[in-house]
Amino acid sequence: MGFVEDIINFLVAPIRSVCPTSCIPISTIIVITLALLVSVLSSAVNRRFVNFDFVTSSRRDYMIWIRSVQEARKAGDEELLSELLKQQAAMMKMSFKANLEQTKTTAITLIPTLLVYGVLLAAFPLNVAVAYSPIYLPGAAITFDLFKAGVAFISVIYWYVIAGVAIGLPLSRLFGRPFGLPAW
């Protein structure tokens, strides 16, 4: 076995000892806990390494410049348009730096996320239910007998995405960083 498989098997062993097969309340909590850990890690790393004030101001300046170019084109003001287009290289450089600022933590957060996916898929294969859903979620159910007992069974991939978004959005606000593009 390879190094990654050894790590995954080491991390899967405690999960399988608690939940050897489909055991929905425990598996649901395990997935939520791992989604919480990854969200906390991602938010903490972003808060530590990303200068969101720079990103927000750069995006604001870039959008103002874009609007000015569009208005100059619409008005047919060639002199103003020429002056604005001279600033294009500087604006593109500033936009690139803002994008780089936001993506510099990707490697730090991507590796744990992929490791968590590997652990979850090893512990709970796609044909194992990890959560119940009282509402219909297209494509998320693992059986075709949807709502046979009033609920649908959800696989680990869909439940992790639902849990990650449900935890990540409020957590990003709690850590004081915007989720996605900043609101102007």
- CA 176 from chain centre, in angstroms, equals 16
Closest C-alpha among 149, 181, 173 to residue 39? 173
Radius of gyration of the chain (CA): 23
Element (H, E) at 184: none
**What is the three-class DSSP state of 148?**
coil
Q: What pLDDT, on the 0 to 100 scale, is given for residue 181?
A: 42
For residue range 130-149, list pLDDT tens digits in order.
887 777 777 766 765 545 55
The amino acid at residue 165 is: V
Check residue 175 and give left, alpha or beta (phi > 0: left; psi -120 to 50: alpha): alpha
Question: Domain segments of the chain: what residues?
Answer: 1-49+105-176, 51-103
Of the CA atoms within 13 Å of residue 97, those in its CB half-sphere come to 15
Q: What pLDDT, on the 0 to 100 scale, is given for residue 24?
A: 79
Mean pLDDT of 5-20: 86
Mean pLDDT of 4-29: 84
Quick one: tokens of 136?
């219909």
In angstroms, the CA 94 to CA 154 distance is 43
Please report, rounded to a whole number, the percentage of residues in the chain having pLDDT higher than 70: 87
Q: What pLDDT, on the 0 to 100 scale, is given for residue 182?
A: 40
Q: Are 129 and 23 in contact (CB under 8 A)?
A: no
For residue range 62-121, list pLDDT tens digits in order.
999 999 999 999 998 889 889 999 999 999 999 999 989 888 888 788 888 899 999 999
At 1, the pLDDT band (50, 70, 90 cuts) reads: low
In angstroms, the CA 70 to CA 159 distance is 43
pTM above 0.85, yes or no: no
In angstroms, the CA 140 to CA 124 distance is 15
Q: Report DSSP state, residue 176.
A: T
Please report, rounded to a whole number, the percentage of residues in the chain having pLDDT higher than 90: 27
The amino acid at residue 137 is: L
At 183, the pLDDT band (50, 70, 90 cuts) reads: very low
**What is the three-class DSSP state of 126?**
coil
